[in-house]
Amino acid sequence: MTATPDLFGPVQLGDIALANRIVMAPMTRSRAPGNLPNALMAEYYAQRASAGLIITEGTAPAANGRGYIDIPGIYSEAQVAGWRAVADAVHAKGGRIFAQVMHVGRISLPEFQDGAEPVAPSAVTPPGQMYTPSGMKPLGQPRALEEAEIEALVEAYGQAARNAIAAGLDGVEIHAANGYLPGQFLAPNSNQRIDRWGGSAENRARFLLAITDAAAKAIGPARVGVRLSPGNPFNDIADPDVEGTYTPVIHGLSGKGLAYLHFLDAKPAFDVIGLARQHFDGKIILNAGYDRARAQADLASGRGDLVAFGSKYISNPDLVERLRRDAPLAAPDQATFYGGDARGYTDYPALAA
Ligand code: 8OZ
Across the range 101-118, mean pLDDT stands at 97
Q: Is the CB of 178 under 6 A from ligand 1?
A: yes
Give the type of residue at 4.
Answer: T
User: Could you give the CA distance from residue 8 to residue 75 in angstroms, rounded to a whole number?
Assistant: 35
Residue to mutate, 55, 59, 68, 129, ligand 1, most ligand atoms under 8 Å from C-beta: 68
Determine what percent of the chain is predicted with pLDDT higher than 70: 99
Does the pLDDT at position 266 exceed 90? no
Q: How many angstroms does the Cα of residue 151 sit away from the middle of ligand 1?
A: 25
Q: Read off the pLDDT of residues 215-253 as tens digits, 9 standing for 90 and up.
A: 999 999 999 999 999 999 999 999 999 999 999 999 999
Q: Which of 68, 75, 180, 290 is catalytic?
A: 180
Please name the amino acid found at residue 298: D
Nearest to 288 by CA among 326, 236, 238, 231: 231
267, pLDDT greater than 70: no
Evaluate: CB of 58 within 6 angstroms of ligand 1.
yes
In the annotation, is 246 catalytic? no
Q: How far is the CA of 18 from the centre of ligand 1 (A)?
A: 26
pLDDT of residue 203: 98
Kindly report the average pLDDT of the chain as a whole number.
97
Superfamily of domain 11-336: Aldolase class I (3.20.20.70)
pLDDT score of 3: 76
- Beta strands 129-132 and 135-138, pairing class: antiparallel
pLDDT in tens, 282-291: 999 999 999 9
Q: Is the pLDDT of residue 269 over 90?
A: no
Q: Tell me which amino acid residue 245 is.
A: T
The per-residue pLDDT for 289 is: 93
* CA 315 – CA 318 distance, rounded (Å): 9
Q: Is the CB of 59 under 6 A from ligand 1?
A: no
The secondary structure of residue 257, as a DSSP letter, is -
CA 348/CA 353 separation, integer angstroms: 15
| Mean pLDDT along residues 301-326 | 97
**Planar angle of CA 65, 287, 163, nearest 5 degrees:** 35
pLDDT in tens, 52-108: 999 999 999 999 999 999 999 999 999 999 999 999 999 999 999 999 999 999 999
Give the residue, by CA position, lying nearest to ligand 1 atom 11: 178
**Closest ligand 1 atom to 58 CA:** 6
In this model, does residue 353 exceed pLDDT 90?
no
Comparing C-alpha atoms, which of 249, 214, 179 is closest to residue 61?
214
Instruction: Identify the H or E element spanning 212.
Output: helix 201-219
The structural domains of the chain, with segments of one domain joined by +, span 11-336
Q: What angle do CA 72, 235, 337 make, to 5 degrees?
A: 45
Q: Alpha carbon 205 to chain centroid distance?
A: 18
Model pTM score? 0.98
- Are the C-beta atoms of 245 and 238 separated by less than 8 Å? no
Residues 9-28 have a mean pLDDT of 97
Q: At what angle do helices 242-253 and 201-219 cross, to 10 degrees?
A: 30
The tally of CA atoms less than 13 A away on the side-chain side of residue 348 is 22
What sign results for the dihedral spanned by CA atoms 146, 164, 247, 270? negative
- Yes or no: say if 250 and 279 are a contact pair by the CB < 8 Å rule: yes
Residue 330 Cα to ligand 1 middle (Å): 22
Instruction: Report phi then psi at 203, rounded to 5.
Output: -70, -40
Per-position b or e across 265-285, b if 16+ CB within 10 A of its CB: beebeeebbebbbeebebbbb
- Name the closest-CA residue to atom 3, ligand 1: 28
Q: Could you give the CA distance from residue 184 to residue 286 in angstroms, rounded to a whole number?
A: 22
* Chain centre to alpha carbon of residue 244: 23
**181-190 burial code (b ≥16 CB/10 A, e <16):** bbbbbbbbeb
